[in-house]
Structure 1
Amino acid sequence: MIFCSAAGNWWDGLTATHQAAFILAAAASVILVVQLVMMLIGLGSDGGFDGDTSDIDGCGDLDCGIPDSADDAFNNDGIAEASGLRIVSFRTVVAFFALGGWITYTMAYFLPWWGAVLIGVAAGCAAAVGVAYLMRAILSFQSDGNRKMGFAVGKIAEVYLTIPAKRTGSGKISVVVQDALTECAAVTDSDEPLSTGSRCVIKAVLSEQLVLVEPMVATKPEASDEKAE
């Protein structure tokens, strides 16, 4: 009761500028925290993560699921783009209100309301642009990973963890792609499972962290046309 009374007195003592800035900043900050937690546990991605591939290091380069999926709730492509930069998206708007709101709230103690709002808007714009550049850098890094894994098709890989037959489960492989050893989840259409240590050929990239492989067929030496008499 004492806390509620003190909080009520504090709120009643705030100006309209303080109250508006506090509400916007607090709400945006909560959304930012939720987004961060979702990204950390993998829920912020469009594709998500398989429990069987959660510890994959290399194939995460394919597409780590960090795309701006929350942007879909606002605009699939962003309102304004410049050279792949999403100027206005869900995340940039949240960043704008979070930083801009707290700056406005703080500056309102020292400046007239309009001065605090101007500085808050400037700070919010800076935060939005910063987040836009950050997301572009992340997506560019993922795109590089996609291009890198494209070179893996047709390469010979070694089975790191047994791959079940007929796509009944996934295993793991290791393969050298562009001079870098990469681990990735894999499935096969083979009637027999591919055991650890066996060699296989990468046939296709199926999804974000998954490739299709087939066992290597041992070549048989050609029989001699002439038999020794």
Structure 2
Amino acid sequence: MMDSLFGDLAPWFTAPALLGTGFLMIQLVLGEIGGDGALDLDFDVDIDGDHPGAEFGWLSLQSISAFFMGYGWIGFAAYRFLDVGFTGAAMIAVLAGVGVAWLMVWLLRSFLKLQNNTNVSIQQARGMVGEVYVTVPPQGTGRGEVVLVINNSRHSYFAVQDGDAADEPIVTHTRVKVRDVDTASNILIVEPA
């Protein structure tokens, strides 16, 4: 087994594979157990907040370790199991490393974008058009539920009717407009759109 991993020219692939995999595993373990240190730093950084995920670029530690992991394991597999020689395996390894690094950057940016889009104020719902999820009963007889898309994410809110035309229920899948928001109870006041 050791001869297969470290014999011949295989260390050109196994060493980066083990280092990249080890670093990603350490990050995973520290992230799960809350690994932080007792380091106290005081500095000021000005970052443009319009581009969530910009800090996960091609030269981040995550993408570099993902490159080494992809380069190493795919290169090792190509070197040992395909009849392409060292040069062919190295080219396959570089392509695989770039692909895995790109995938890591894309995933981290996507996760960060999801995290940034979840904080929504119910005040943003005023004037928006949504869809009834649970039938909104006539005025004063209960509440239903409405789904709105705010900042590219779906949010569900309780809703009631109010006004002259509120004597009929608004059934599921009907489009409604948010006329007002009761901030005390976080309930939308809706009317058919």
TM-score (norm 1): 0.42
